[in-house]
Each structure stands twice: as C-alpha cells, then as structure tokens.
Structure 1
Amino acid sequence: MSKLDVYQQLRQNDNYIYKLIQLPPQLQSHLSKLKNNLQLKSTNNGNVLLVTEDKTFKLRQNNQSNTILLMRHENDKLIGYDKCFYQYELNEILGKIINSSDIDIPIYENEKSIQKITKKLTKQQLFNLSPCSKFEFEKLWIEMNYINIENQVFKISNNLITEILYDLITFLISKNKLEEFRKEDIEISYDSNLVNSIFLNFTITTKDNKYKLNDEKIINWFGINELKKLKIEEENQIKLNDFYLNWKSSLPSFYNVSLSITSLRGNYLTKTINKIEFIKYVPLENLSQDPIIKFKQLILIEPIWKYDEILYFFSDFIKSGKKIDSIILKYGKKKKIGSKFIVCSR
C-alpha cells in the first residue's frame, strides 16, 4: 500500500520567491536542448519580453485564485504550494527593431553624413534596445536598410538605395546576368558596405551559392517611390494609367518585369471619377498603430474605400488572428455593390 506524508508549513520560507510560468512548446524545446541563451527585454510601453536566439515571447500576467501546485519531492513525497495568485503566460510575437522615431538614427546620404554625427549608436546598442531576438534583428537589419559604418548605425537614404539598385540592375543587364550571378560578379562604384546591404535586401539565393534579383521586391520599391512623389501632386492623386507609365519609366531600361498595382496594396487607394480611375497615395508613417484610430484616420482621408484595399492597411492586425470586420462594423459600414464590397463611414 502506498504511503503519503502530510504536513503543513504555516510560514513561507523567506529565502525563496515562487512564480508560476507556463512554457509554450517552442520554449520547452529550446530548453530541452540545454541552451541557456535566454534574455529578458522590455518595450517602451512596459511589456516584458523573453527572447531566445531566434524567437520573441511576450510575458503576460494572469491573475487567479485557488491554485495548488503539487510537486514531486525526494522519496516519492509530494509538496503542495498554494500561494500562486497569478501565473505568467509566454506568447510568441513577431520581434521588431525599435522604432527609429524613438531613437536618433541618422540617414546616410554620403560620406559627409559621418562627419555630422555627435552621438554614436552602435549596432549592439540598437539590438539591446530592440524587442526582438538576434535572428530576427539580423533579418530586419537588412530589410530596413540599416548599415554599420565606423561603428555607427545609419539608415541608408531612399534616394541612395534607388540609385545603387538602379546601377546594380543596369550592370547585370549589361553583363547578361539577370537570371543568375555570384556576389563577386558585382562591380559598381559604391562603398562595399552599401552594395552588400542592398544586395542582400533585393536578391534571393539560388543553388550553388548563386543569386538572382528579387523582382517582386524591386518593383515594389520603385512603385512605392513613385507613389511618394504624389505628395506634390494636386490632391495627392494621379490617373492610374499615368502612374503606370511613371512606374515603368522609373525602372532601368531593358528590365522587363510585369507591373500590378495590387502589389502595392497598403500604400494607396483607387477611386473612379467620371469613368476615369485615379490612384491616391496614403503615407503609412502618418497613420496610427492603433487599429481603431487608424480606421478613423483612413475614413477621414477618403469616406468610401474598396474593401480589398483598406484591408491591407491592417495586415499586422489580421496576422495576429484578429478580424478587421469587427472594427469596420463598429465604427463604419460594409456594403456590397454588385460583386464587390465597399467600406464607408456611418
């Protein structure tokens, strides 16, 4: 017959503080491999994060009552503990580099940009400030066009990126190497750090350690740059056919790729005036991160939206598993006209 020792400890041992943490499967797998590279970070709004080498988890406190923990002790004894009035949940989130508006990251235009620096921010310091893992940081570092020059973080200017990218494509066309090339094949007259950064951002790896241009990403870059030029147009809009002509003209000669305005969704809206279709640029940087405030801002910009166009302004919200229709139906209206839906104000 099994035997169970029962006793009560009326006073908690002051030498210890017990906290209950629920570990997700990804973190259990990480710990089972005896990896100890866990790091605690925090966000600007006070959230606590736990990061591994490649994943980011948000710590969330759930208050509770009547919890008893039963733990196996030596000699098959059970220890009960009932002082856990809350538990911590760890939910995986997408890591991000800290917003450049929250810290002073200078724009790199040319060598004179280095001379203007008064206070340095190193790449390691930027990582320490960013709510993300090391793997996510390195990936985002390239995607966001950051560069490390003389141990100082810079963000490459849009004009310089466009200039180098244009010359890179032109060079590959001249050497008939658009389909496949090696990194060492590139010979354009820019700083090697700049070329390498843009090369990694706008190419994809093929077999045998070779590369090819990421056409989709490149045409999106040039397309969004053309959209940004609409800021100086009357009412921030232009005929859609004229925009296509400008977009095509901005690309290097003989770089033959198909263009589709839908690839730029989340940066524009279209509307028909007197049977002519117009496109209007909507700057993302002017919109709130809060989905409710963002929806209200978009309705102020344009009272009637195509449903499939407004949807792309909430891609992060939708990726988190939430439904944008809940906001639309609460703060606006969704109507069906013909075979398509529109969104408008109440």
Structure 2
Amino acid sequence: MTFTVYNQLSHSNDYVYKLIQLPSELVEYMKNEPDKPLQFKAPTNVKTQLAICTDTTTYNVRQMNHSNTQLLMNDMAINKAGHTLAHTSMANPAMQLLGIGLASYIYELSEVAGYIQTGDLPVYEGISSDLLQATKSVADVRDDSTVAPKSFLSEWHALGGSTVDGKAVVLSSKLITEVLHTIISLMIAEDIESFKIEKMAVVVAEQNKLFTRDIVDTVASKFSTTKEDVYSLDTERVAKWFGIETLRNQKTAFTEKELLLAWKASLPPFYNASLDVKLLYGHFCRPSTDQIRYLRLESLSGNLHTRIKEMFQMVKEWEYDEFLPFVLSFVPASKKADSIILKYARKKRVGRKVFVCPR
C-alpha cells in the first residue's frame, strides 16, 4: 500500500496540536460512554499539575520528552481537521496524508487517586473555631479539585472533609478522634457491629450536640466500609488512626514497646484491635535502633533528591519497608520503586533485612 504524504507549510497561531497517549481503558470509555464526562482539570494552587477525569477515574498528565520529533498526520480519508489540498486532486483521499504539526513530546497518562485542594480551607476544631474565613461550599471544592466526580466524596471524607453551617471545612485530628471514640463506645454499649448514619447521628448528638450529622457522616465514612447504606467500621483503619495519633501526640522518641502500650491505651475501652507497627509505616522514623519518633510526611521537601537527603540526616540507615512510603508518591505507575530510589541511594542486606543508605 502506498500513501502520498504532504506537509502543511504554514500553521495557524490560534491553536497548537498536542499528542496524548491514551490507555486502552480510556479509549474504551470514550467509545462506549460518549455522553459521560471527560474533563481536563487543574487545581488552582498547583501550576504544574494537570489531570484528565472521567466520571470514575482520574489520570495524571505527565509530559514525556522525545529525542526525536514526531510528525502529526491528518488522514485525508477521515479528515477530522477539515483540511483541503488545493494543489492536488482529492480523487483518492484514502491514499493521502497531510502533516499538520510536529511534536517533540507526548503526554503520558497514569491512573491516580486524585487530588483535592484543602490548603485554603479552615480546620474545624469545634465550638472555638472561627468560620469567618470559610467561603467555599463542598461543590466549590469539588470543582477546584482534580478528582473524578464519583470518587470525590470518598476522597473528601478520607481527608476529614465535612460541612459546618453550609461551609466546607477540614475536621481537626483531635475532633475526628473524639467523634470516632464516641461512635465506637456507643457500638460497644449497644453490642452492634454496624449502623445506619441517621440513627447513629442522633445518639452521637445526644452525647455532644456539636457532633452534627455531617460530622458523624465524615468520620463514619472515613473509617468504614458501606453496603446498602449500612456502615461497618474497618478495624485496621481505626487501629492505624489511633496509632498515628499516639505518635503525633508524643513529643519525644520512645521505644517500640512504649509505643504499643500507649497505642493500646488510646483505644476506647473494650475495643479489640490487632496492633502492628507495620500499620504506621510512613509516619515514623527510628533516630536510633530502639527508638521511634513521629515524622510528618508533609514536613519533608517536595523534591525527591532533597527529601532523601533530609531523611538520611535524620536516620543514617532506613529499613527498606519503612523508607518506601516516604518516596512512593514520586514513583510513576509504570516503573518499579527501586528504579527511582537507586538514583539517590543504595540498598544493602543485613541478615534477612534490607536497608537503604546514602550512596
């Protein structure tokens, strides 16, 4: 088969062609769900972040530069661009291609959890909170965030997002703990393993009128699995939360045994949960062999190389499994973690354990 190829010599300044590599599942979505949403979205406070959202899935858009330039072709048989070839016959357009642009890079898509912009929202701590600075509704937050519409609510609740007097807020860690403690205590007292929000919200409000239905819904959704509007607390999620709070509230380093004792004591009375330090990976470091100290992920640099340097300044050698959660967000879905980590650090094995240390 032979094609005649032409090149467009002049181009409009009104637009530029971009090349996007679509994953197969997104192609199927576009074919099978033509009436469903497909949006480019970018958060207002992050200039370098761009995403494509379907109704259920969020894809991060990442620019991949090429060593060679690609020629973008318009198939004249299809001719979606509406071009004409004035100097040649269009008698057989099926055999004609028109070069309409050059691309030295391509946009690669990878599925991500999505990003909800909460930095400009007030943290609600209860009656003492000042909501004068709260100007956004939950709908405003959803519109400003790069997250698929059907995934927004679960992601919002996972962040502690809620509504107070019609305004979008983020519940403080202390308030979340108090509400969760109340819910668990009521479930133990009533000997129930699941509940519906409407009923639980009423009995929780009897304990503390500040715990509104919206707040109870946020906390219950954050720590539960749901089926037909029935909520069941996820024991592992609950245990992890109380463990992180135990670390956060401890001002000095302590031993692993002391952590486990304090963690157990923080749980509501008679609540049984399996406690394992592995649940807390990504929230602590070991300044010495027998010591554990809280490490807030957000306190580290947003640059991978700088972050790893900061981590080695705190701890000279990290156990691999304890190191990984702090750098995982920098690893593209298409790559293995080691391909990124080993650019800035090295691994070594001591007995059965694997450690990460400076190069």
The TM-score normalised by the length of structure 2 is 0.81
Q: Aligned partners of 2:64, 2:358: CA distance in 1, in Å? A: 37
State the secondary structure of the residue aligned to 1:222.
helix
Q: Counterpart of 2:220?
A: 199
State the secondary structure of the residue aligned to 1:278.
coil
State the secondary structure of the residue aligned to 2:142.
helix
Q: Judging changes above 3 Å, is the alpha-carbon distance between structure 1 residues 281 and 321 closer, same or farther for their aligned structure 2 residues?
A: farther
Q: Counterpart of 1:94?
A: 112
State the secondary structure of the residue aligned to 2:186.
helix
**Aligned ranges 1:1-346 → 2 under 5 Å:** 19=17, 20-32=19-31, 33-43=33-43, 44-57=46-59, 58=61, 60=63, 64-73=69-78, 77-78=93-94, 79-86=96-103, 88-101=106-119, 104-113=120-129, 115-118=130-133, 120-177=135-192, 179-186=193-200, 187-189=203-205, 190-206=211-227, 209-230=229-250, 232-233=251-252, 237-270=253-286, 277-318=290-331, 320-346=333-359
Cα deviation for residue 319 of structure 1 reads 6.3
Q: Aligned partners of 1:223, 1:6: CA distance in 2, in Å? A: 67
Q: Aligned partners of 1:84, 1:244: CA distance in 2, in Å? A: 62
Q: Aligned partners of 1:345, 1:13: CA distance in 2, in Å? A: 51
Give the alignment's Cα RMSD to 1 decimal.
3.1
The 8 Å contact of residues 226 and 232 in structure 2, kept in 1 or not, is answered as yes
Q: Aligned partners of 2:287, 2:267: CA distance in 1, in Å? A: 26
The 8 Å contact of residues 69 and 82 in structure 1, kept in 2 or not, is answered as yes
Q: Aligned partners of 2:63, 2:123: CA distance in 1, in Å? A: 36
Q: Aligned partners of 1:135, 1:68: CA distance in 2, in Å? A: 36
Cα deviation for residue 330 of structure 1 reads 3.9
Question: What are structure 2's unaligned runs of at least 5 residues?
Answer: 80-90, 206-210
Cα deviation for residue 291 of structure 1 reads 2.3
Cα deviation for residue 34 of structure 1 reads 1.8
Cα deviation for residue 66 of structure 1 reads 4.4
Q: Which amino acid aligns with 1:54?
A: T
Cα deviation for residue 100 of structure 1 reads 3.4
Cα deviation for residue 121 of structure 1 reads 1.8
Q: Aligned partners of 1:259, 1:139: CA distance in 2, in Å? A: 25
Cα deviation for residue 241 of structure 1 reads 0.9
Q: Judging changes above 3 Å, is the alpha-carbon distance between structure 1 residues 6 and 199 closer, same or farther for their aligned structure 2 residues?
A: closer
Instruction: Deviation per CA, 1:86-136: give whole Å up to 9, x if none.
Output: 2753513314334534xx2101112442x5414512222222222222123
The 8 Å contact of residues 320 and 354 in structure 2, kept in 1 or not, is answered as yes
The 8 Å contact of residues 138 and 163 in structure 2, kept in 1 or not, is answered as yes
Q: Which amino acid aligns with 1:182?
A: K
Instruction: Deviation per CA, 1:53-81: give whole Å up to 9, x if none.
Output: 12223164756244544342598632421
Q: Which amino acid aligns with 1:27?
A: L
Q: Aligned partners of 2:24, 2:179: CA distance in 1, in Å? A: 44
Instruction: Deviation per CA, 1:267-301: give whole Å up to 9, x if none.
Output: 1134765xxx3222212121123322221111011
The 8 Å contact of residues 154 and 222 in structure 2, kept in 1 or not, is answered as no
The 8 Å contact of residues 288 and 315 in structure 2, kept in 1 or not, is answered as no
The 8 Å contact of residues 108 and 155 in structure 1, kept in 2 or not, is answered as yes
Q: Judging changes above 3 Å, is the alpha-carbon distance between structure 1 residues 292 and 340 closer, same or farther for their aligned structure 2 residues?
A: same
Q: Which amino acid aligns with 1:249?
A: A
Percent identity over the alignment is: 27
State the secondary structure of the residue aligned to 1:238.
coil
Give the number of the structure with larger relative contact order, counting CA–CA contacts within 8 Å between residues 6 or more apart.
2
Q: Judging changes above 3 Å, is the alpha-carbon distance between structure 1 residues 36 and 257 closer, same or farther for their aligned structure 2 residues?
A: closer
The 8 Å contact of residues 328 and 334 in structure 1, kept in 2 or not, is answered as no
Q: Judging changes above 3 Å, is the alpha-carbon distance between structure 1 residues 168 and 70 closer, same or farther for their aligned structure 2 residues?
A: same
Q: Aligned partners of 2:164, 2:144: CA distance in 1, in Å? A: 19
Q: Aligned partners of 2:78, 2:213: CA distance in 1, in Å? A: 61
The 8 Å contact of residues 291 and 314 in structure 1, kept in 2 or not, is answered as yes
State the secondary structure of the residue aligned to 1:72.
coil
Q: Aligned partners of 2:291, 2:28: CA distance in 1, in Å? A: 52
